[in-house]
Amino acid sequence: MIQAIQHKIRTRQYEFSRHALDQSIRREISIAEFEESLLGGGAEIIEDYPTDKYGPSCLILGITHAGRALHVLCSYPSRPLLKVITLYEPDPSKWVDARTRRDS
């Protein structure tokens, strides 16, 4: 599935939700950083939500060229346009590392 998501990014077949747009501005995450984090060789799906009430989605960990870890929550690539739901840097108070969620 990561290859299909990367294809959507590469061919600019994606859109940001209003929330994702607001968060990218607030968190100073540029479109270039978003794209490079998902298109880099280390991008991986770290959580999968196939039965989410708003539609199947997944959480992807990607790293920018500068080494900035980003989490991107997006729809499955089966939609005509991949929907970016939100994006953020993993918060150390909620994540052990960029891949592992802390216990609640």
Are 83 and 75 contacting, i.e. CB atoms less than 8 angstroms apart?
yes
104 is a domain residue: no
101 is a domain residue: no
81 is a domain residue: yes
pLDDT digits (tens, 9 = 90+) for 27-36: 999 999 999 9
Q: In total, how many domains does the chain have?
A: 1
Q: Which of 82, 80, 69 is nearest to 43 (CA)?
A: 69
73 is a domain residue: yes
84 is a domain residue: yes
Cα–Cα distance for residue pair 32/95, rounded to 1 Å:
24
pLDDT digits (tens, 9 = 90+) for 45-98: 999 999 999 899 999 999 999 999 999 999 999 999 999 999 999 999 999 999
What predicted TM-score, i.e. pTM, was given to this entire model?
A: 0.94
Are 43 and 2 contacting, i.e. CB atoms less than 8 angstroms apart?
yes
Pairing of strands 82-88, 57-63: unpaired
Q: Note down the domain range covering 76.
A: 2-88
